[in-house]
Homo-oligomer: A and B are copies of this chain.
Amino acid sequence: MKPVSRRKFVQQSALVVASASLPFPFAMSTNKEVFVHQVYFWLKDPNSAADRAALRAGLEKLRAIPVITFSHIGTAAPTRREVIDSSYDFSLLCFFKNGPDQDVYQTHPIHLEFVDSCKHLWQRVVVYDAIGEGQE
């Protein structure tokens, strides 16, 4: 076994850290451009446990789309202030590297299948797309 000097160890460790950080865009000290795609869903029948489960299952499947760098599937937090809209049933937040990657997502077969199989569940969808810099 070849011994590794302390300097070499530190250098190699830094490389390991750098490569471990690569998949996620924010594991860096400077700001990083992120395309934020936020979707809110209002169900036709929010009291139907089956409909809620079906939409959640559909949203979970979307996560397999490779251009998504981060996703969050949520429901309204219990916060209540005048400015807060907590009337929605599900939220989906997706991060993309840039606009072209978001375009790929929109026409990805998994996304098209999601819309096809779940659109009967919702009465309203609102989307906010934002471009800007993310920071840890």
Contact = CB atoms under 8 A, between A and B. Distances in A.
Interface size class of A (residues with CB under 8 A): 35 or more
Please state the number of chain copies in the assembly.
2
Contact of A74 (B4, B36, B63, B127): B36
Contacts of A116: none
A7 to B, nearest CB: 8
A24 B84 CA distance: 26
Contact of A130 (B16, B74, B81): B74
A46 to B, nearest CB: 15
Interface string A73-105: 111111101011110100101000001001000
Contacts of A35: 77
